[in-house]
Amino acid sequence: MTLDLPFIWAALIAFAVLAYVILDGFDLGVGILFPFMPHRKHRDEMMNSVAPVWDGNETWLVLGGGGLFAVFPLAYAVIMPALYAPLIVMLLGLIFRGVAFEFRWKTERGRFLWDWAFAGGSTLAAFAQGIALGALVQGIPVADRAYAGGWWDWLTPFSLLTGVALVVGYALLGATWLVYKAEGEVQARAYRFAMLAAIGTVALIGAVSLWTPFLRDIYMQRWLAWPQILYTAPVPLLVAATTFVLLKSLREKRELSPFLASLALFVLCFVGLGIGFYPYIVPHSVTIWDAAGPDASLGFLLIGALALLPLILAYTAYSYWVFRGKVNAKGGHYH
């Protein structure tokens, strides 16, 4: 039996990207909500809830980006020039945010500056990721195996909408994470933030979903044409059911269910993207097989990935287990 190595690697990279989005998504969401907590001890509690795990969460971004570079060099060479601007902004946001984790605990006079660096970096990184996603959904023009668009093609009303949608979506993940990890005033405020963010996220998912089929005929054919609609209809139906569970669990003041329902919303949106993109890795110009390197290289790299992935999953699970339970403003962080 011959292994379809490009397909296997596409699945691994898709898994890494999804893992990054749902794991780093909630700690970026905590940063997005940071300015809305008026008291310092509440902000300390928020940061303590993600301090032990945020850097491990970003491991998946390295794996996704590194895998794309190593396994699909043509896709990497096309996508990077198309998205240089939003990706550089994203990295700057992540750097400011990461430095804030270390520095805000070391100063009293300048702490407010690092608070803003944490909040601004988180929001900027989330917004840039959303814009990059919108630019991918629009499609990237390719000619002679190279990017054929302009410097500003990523900046459109649609990509701005997806940028706002991801900021609000990450805020939902952050708020439901705080509902699960915090107590007292922080948890009470997190419930209110989560309800507002849930309504905003679902409204923005609807707006993006209604707009997307009019971007390209391929989306219209896959989502609305008969009989394909029979295969794609379960996704929006599951989104509606998950939204019901999310809102119901927030009204009933449950602690874990809102976070799990928020994660499920992101997974369903990711599945929807997969339906729109497959089999293209550069929508809708370059397929997975066109962009892949030689099978010998893919096979060699796959051996390394199969050894590395269990290690990443193991230490990720172990870190969440060690730092399980509620947090407060005084303990629970690593400083």
Residue pLDDT, tens place only, 73-111: 999 999 999 999 999 999 999 999 999 988 888 888 888
**Distance between CA atoms of residues 112 and 35, nearest Å:** 10
Does the N-terminal peptide bond of residue 284 adopt cis geometry, omega within 30 degrees of 0?
yes
In 278-329, alpha helices (H): 288-291, 295-322
pLDDT given for residue 1 in this prediction: 67
Which among 78, 84, 66 is positioned nearest to 12, based on CA atoms?
66
Query: Average of pLDDT values for 223-248?
Result: 93
Instruction: Provide long-range contacts, Cβ within 8 A and 24+ apart, for 34-38.
Output: 34/115, 34/118, 34/119, 34/122, 35/115, 35/116, 35/119, 36/189, 36/193, 37/186, 37/189
Is 332's pLDDT higher than 60?
no
pLDDT given for residue 186 in this prediction: 94
The first and second tokens of residue 279, run together, are 């089999």
pLDDT given for residue 131 in this prediction: 97
Burial 202-223 (b: 16+ CB within 10 A, else e): bebbeebbebbbebbeebeebb
Share of the chain above pLDDT 70, in %: 98
Bridge partners of 146, per DSSP, are 143
Residue pLDDT, tens place only, 159-189: 999 999 999 999 999 999 999 999 999 999 9
pLDDT given for residue 56 in this prediction: 87
Query: Average of pLDDT values for 15-26?
Result: 94
- Predicted confidence band at 329 (pLDDT cuts at 50, 70, 90)? low
Residue pLDDT, tens place only, 30-66: 999 999 988 889 999 999 999 989 888 888 988 888 8
Instruction: Give the DSSP H/E element, type plus range, for residue 280.
Output: strand 280-282
Bridge partners of 286, per DSSP, are 282
Which among 191, 319, 333, 331 is positioned nearest to 255, based on CA atoms?
191
Parallel, antiparallel, or unpaired: how do β-strands 280-282 and 286-287 relate?
antiparallel
Is 335's pLDDT higher than 70?
no
Query: Average of pLDDT values for 267-283?
Result: 93
Torsion over CA: 69, 75, 76, 79 (sign): negative
Is 334's pLDDT higher than 70?
no
pLDDT given for residue 330 in this prediction: 64
pLDDT given for residue 331 in this prediction: 57
Residue pLDDT, tens place only, 242-272: 999 999 999 999 999 999 999 999 999 999 9
